[in-house]
Each structure stands twice: as C-alpha cells, then as structure tokens.
Structure 1
Amino acid sequence: MENYTVEEYALCTRFKSKRRKKRLIKKDFDKQLIHLRKLEVELWNKRRNLPLVPLQVPYQKGWQRNFKLRDDVARSAEAEFYKELLTKINTWQFSSEKSFKRKKKRKSRHVYVEKIQTVKEFSEWEWKSPKLELTEKEKVHFYKRERWCSNFKRYKVHYVFNEPWRYVLRVSPYMITHTRMVDSYLESEIQVVENYIVNQNLRNKINKLVDGFSRSWSYYDYENPKEKNPIKNMSLHALYQQYADEMIENHGK
C-alpha cells in the first residue's frame, strides 16, 4: 500500500484541500460584504423616499436667485413662448448673503465679487440627445459656441441662448416649509450597519469589491478604532503632565 499525503488524498476524494477551504471562506466573506453594501444602499433609499412633513413654523435659510421674464417681454405677444422656454433653461443659485457675492483672492488680498449666473447651456451630447425637451422653434434661439475646457484640455461645443436680455435675475428668500420624516427604527438599522463597517474597517474593502477601486471620500474617511493612538490628539502640556505623573509614581515605588 502506497503512502499518500493529505493533499494528495484530498485530490482523489470528496474532501476539500486546505487551500480550497481558505479560498471558499474568503469568497463567502466577500459575498457577505457585497450583500452588506446592497443592504446599506437599500436602507439609504428607504430613508430618501420617506415623505415630507410640513413644518408648523417655516423658516428662512438664506436666499435663492433665478430668472424671470422682463416686464416688457411679459407684456409682448410672445410672452407665452418665452415663458415656456424659461421653464426649460432656468437656473437657480443659493447663498447665505443677499448680495450673492463670493470671496476671491486678488493680488494677495481677498475681495468679494458677484457670482455669475446665466441661463442653461447645452453640451453637444445633450443637444443631440432624443431626450432634449426643446422644440424646433425653440432651438432656433440658440447658437453654437466653442469654449476652452481646462479639465479636458480642449475646446468643447456648447449651445447658448442668443437672447439672454429677455430674462432678468430675481432674488427671493429661500424658505424651508417641509422636512423629511424621521423613522427611528430605520435610523437604528442604518446605524447598526454603519457601526459594523467602521469598527471592522471594511469600507475600503467593500469599495474595492463593488466598484473595483478603493476611494477615500471625506464622508467615509473614518479612523480604524482598533488602530487609534491614545496620545494622538493630546496636547503637549497634557503629554508632559502624563509623563510627570508617571515619573512621580515610579519614583515613589
């Protein structure tokens, strides 16, 4: 009778080798992580789809700015046409200041400049898309323009509205009248999943499995609790005081 090793015996039987067992355990754990991501997304969607509840006392949260028809255009015969077009190209901006100014650095000092706001422009892909809501009559009021894109390092085509003077900006208070309903049971489920992922430091591994790469968003930028340094966030005075207390204690012994 010949002598066989455990690995050789496993090859000719139904038993699994050690290497296959480890691979199956890792594969099963990866499936659990993928299922965990699906559960997390499902819970987020449930929270996002919760109904809105009206507030008893609405409150103002900054200011909003959008376009409206100019008064003389609103009284003209084509007012309905330009009003319908505005619903498709109108844009909104929000700011905490009514002046809608932003801080900008010029010549080593900060100045406040007004934010630029225009009606919507369409890219070449949007213009050729069948989902474009513009009619043929409305497309006549746009012209083709090439603009340098610093991100792609090339010129890109845009379709710009050729009569922007027909619309003027309107500033109004941005009022909060509704709030999202809070489901305490759903929030507890989300927190349980979140705590498990953070405590086990699984966020990067889940992103690697699902998306193919591990991204480090600021939203997911958590520190592994198992690797926390107890003296990382201590001040120099606290460290010196701790060192002095230890020296006194050792000297007393």
Structure 2
Amino acid sequence: MENYTVDEYALCARFKSKRKKKRLVKEDFEKQLIQIKKLEKELWNKRKNLPLVPLDNPYQKGWQSNFVLREDVARSSEAEFYKSLLGKINTWQFSSEKSFKGKKKRKRRNVYVEKIQTVKEFSEWEWRSPKLELTEKEKMHFYKRERWCSNFKRFKIHYVFNEPWRYVLRISPYMITHTKMVDSDLESEIQFLDNYITNLNLRHKINKLVDGFSHRWSYYENENPKEISPIKNKSLQVLYQQYVDEMI
C-alpha cells in the first residue's frame, strides 16, 4: 500500500488542503474589511446629508468680505447683467479680524499686511470646459493674461475680468444662523465602528486593501485604547505632585 501525504490525500479526496483553508480564511477576512469600509462610508454620507437646523440665538463668528455692485452700476440699465455675472465670479474671505490682515514675515519679523481679494479668474482649462457657466456676452468682458507660476516654473494663461471697478468690496459680520442636525443613533453607530477598527488596528489594512496604499495620516494615528499606559498618560499635575512628595 502506497503512502500518501495529507495534501495528496486531500487532493484525491477533494478535501480542502491546509493551504487552501488558510487562503479562504484570509479572503473571507478581507471581504469583511471591504464591507466595513463600505459601511463606514455609508454612515459618513448619512451624517453629511443631515439637514441644517436654525438656531434660536444666532451668533457672530468673525467677519466676511465679498463683492457687491457699486451704487451707480446698480442704478444703471445693465444692473441685472452685472448682478448675474457677479454671482458667477464673486469670492468670499473670512477672518477673525475686521481689518482682514494676515501675518507675513519680512526681514525676520512678523508684520500684518492686508489680504488682496479679487473677483474669480479662470484658468485656461476652466475657460475651455463645457461646464463653464459664462455666456458668450459675459465672456467678452474677460481678457487673456499670462502669469508666471512658481509651482510649475512656467507661464500660465488666465482669463481676468476687465472691469473690476464695477464691484466694491464689502465687509460684514459672519453670522451663524444654522447648525448641523445631530442624530444620536447615527453617531453611536459611527463611534462603535470606529472603536472596532481602532481597537483591532484595522485602519492600515483597510486602506491598503481598498485603496492599494495606506498613508499614516495624523487623523488615524490615535493611540489604541488597549495599549494606553496609565503611567505614560498621567497628567503633568499628578507627576508634579509625585515629584514634590518625593522631595519632601
């Protein structure tokens, strides 16, 4: 009688070999990770699509600056045309200071300079895109301009509005009137799933499996709660008190 190995007998008897069983377990685990990623994305989208709820007491959070029609242009016969165009090229800036000054280093010193704000300019790719919302009449109010791009080390073409004097910059309080609705059940599901991924250190495996690579983003570099050392995470106040007690 011939002697057969376990793998040969399993092959003849149509049983699964140890290697195949191990591979099937791994494939099943990877399928579970993919489903976890899909579920997490679905929960995030549900949170993102929650409606806004008006606040009982609106409050101010800094300042905002945007362009409005100049008074004489608003009274002219072409006010509707320039108002419609402004809705497509208007820009907004937000700041905690009404002066809208930003910090900039000059000669090893930090100075505050005013932020330059202009109406929107279109790149060559945006100008040729079929998704551009400008009409042919509106396009006639733009001119082509070449500008040096330090990132690409070459000149790039931009289309600039040729009558910026028709709009003036307005600074107004930035009021918070609405807030995002909070779904306690949804937040509980998201937190439960996030705790499961964090406790089992699955974030790196999921990203590498779904995206093909995994970056160590600081957002996901939270310390595993199971690995937190009570000595390492003591507050400075407790450590200082222990030091004082030892000295006494």
Q: Output the TM-score relative to the length of structure 1.
A: 0.88
The corresponding residue for 2:24 is 24
Where 2:218 maps in the other structure, the secondary structure is coil
CA offsets, 1:91-135, max 9 Å, x none? 111111111111111111111111121111112221111111100
Where 2:220 maps in the other structure, the secondary structure is coil
For the pair 1:200 / 2:200, whether they are aligned, the reply is yes
CA distance in 1: counterparts of 2:111 and 2:127, whole angstroms: 37
The corresponding residue for 2:58 is 58
Change (3 A) 1:83 1:240: closer
Residue 84 of structure 1 and its aligned partner are, at CA, apart by: 0.7
Where 2:201 maps in the other structure, the secondary structure is coil
The corresponding residue for 1:250 is none
Where 1:64 maps in the other structure, the secondary structure is strand
Amino acid at match of 2:183: D
Alignment of 1:69-88 (within 5 A): 69-88=69-88
CA distance in 1: counterparts of 2:161 and 2:177, whole angstroms: 33
CA distance in 2: counterparts of 1:75 and 1:208, whole angstroms: 60
Identity %: 79
Q: Which runs of 5+ in 1 are unaligned?
A: 246-253
The corresponding residue for 1:143 is 143
Q: Output the TM-score relative to the length of structure 2.
A: 0.90
Q: Which runs of 5+ in 2 are unaligned?
A: none
Residue 180 of structure 1 and its aligned partner are, at CA, apart by: 1.3
CA distance in 2: counterparts of 1:178 and 1:30, whole angstroms: 41
Change (3 A) 1:154 1:10: farther
Where 1:210 maps in the other structure, the secondary structure is helix
Residue 35 of structure 1 and its aligned partner are, at CA, apart by: 0.8
The corresponding residue for 2:122 is 122
For the pair 1:48 / 2:54, whether they are aligned, the reply is no
The corresponding residue for 2:89 is 89
Residue 81 of structure 1 and its aligned partner are, at CA, apart by: 1.1
| Contact 1:231 1:239 (8 Å CA) reproduced | no
Where 2:9 maps in the other structure, the secondary structure is helix
Residue 219 of structure 1 and its aligned partner are, at CA, apart by: 2.1
Change (3 A) 1:154 1:136: same
The corresponding residue for 1:4 is 4
CA distance in 1: counterparts of 2:207 and 2:37, whole angstroms: 9
Change (3 A) 1:71 1:191: same
CA distance in 2: counterparts of 1:216 and 1:241, whole angstroms: 36
Where 2:44 maps in the other structure, the secondary structure is helix
CA distance in 2: counterparts of 1:151 and 1:198, whole angstroms: 38
CA distance in 1: counterparts of 2:230 and 2:155, whole angstroms: 53
CA distance in 1: counterparts of 2:12 and 2:157, whole angstroms: 66
The corresponding residue for 1:152 is 152
The corresponding residue for 1:168 is 168
